[in-house]
Chains A and B, each alone.
Chain A
Amino acid sequence: MTDRVSPAASAAQHRARRRARVADAARLLPLLGVVLFLMPDLILSGADAGEGATAPWLVYLFSAWLLLLVLSFLIGHFYRRDVAPEDGR
């Protein structure tokens, strides 16, 4: 560190970075969801691929679903901690 940055400024910068990261994650999450949820449509719509696909893809879809809502929960958690207090409420 050649530049001298005050601890307060550094903390503010850190907070701002964290807030931006939470916002970005929240923005990106539905894109992940779209990719995950459209997967069967992209993969299975061929002629034979759909044979006996219900059981495994059922498991896949619920896993993806669970993953999404766990991620959403985490984002919500970080949002409450980092963003909400300063979101002009």
Chain B
Amino acid sequence: MAQASRRSGESVWFWILVAPAVLGFLAFNLGPMIESLYLSFTKYDVISPPQYIGVRNYTYLIFNDPAFWPSVIVTAVFAAVSVPLGLISALGVALLLNRKVAGQGVFRTIYFLPSLLPATASGVVWVFIFHPTFGLLNRLLYFVGIEGPAWTQSVTWALPALIIMSLWGFGQPMVIFLAGLQDVPDSLYEAADLDGASRWQQFRNVTLPLITPVLFFNLVMGLIGALKVFDSAYVFGSTSGVGPGGPARATLFYALNLYQKAFSYFHMGLASAMAWLLFLAILALTAFNFWLGKRWVHSE
């Protein structure tokens, strides 16, 4: 009897304690999600009430909007290049750090720090480094006899500049890789040594399979993050002197395009449609990753 009343008492307490989180979920996640789905079928500029227009937002985006597909391509290219490069760098550094070198803590701090810095400040520093005339990069290239491109103001080089900048912040996946590497039992390496396996063979057959779970995690998180990039793109664009999307939309990331449409020009319905397309893309990509992951991710 006492147990039953205690359990129902706990139940009541449960709902009391999670009430803020439930409220938050409804007000900041579920509610807006439903509303934005509705808005994606309307023409809405915040000043006048929404006007239902069916799927015209979606068809405009896919068939007529000159900025939509370029922004998809920019984002996709960025993701396809920066995520693998970032993961390889992160894994590489983690492998080096895993070797019980002296000063491991200091190195780890140095590699991790850039990923924590405010994207705005880092972005501004990198824009300065990429400056065509007196930026550090072009000055260094000049010493090697190369005339560097106009980077943030160049149609071809603005996106590569952003990719280079994003690689600077591989600290987070690196730390996770490091933790994953440290979880691999030494006994396995010793056994491999006894079998006469080379370093490379050890890596391929012991290390790699056992870190596939963290690799998977970093890959999924990295991809989702790449699809949502906004801050650095905004900084690059607004300091390039050309406009937020960069020259000829070179750095018009999807989230930036969405922000422009919604908050510079108040096409809220259109932007909501863009948001839902992004959401569906993320869901599809993640589902695909999970499905693919069953094949290559090692499970306990």
Chain A bound to chain B: no
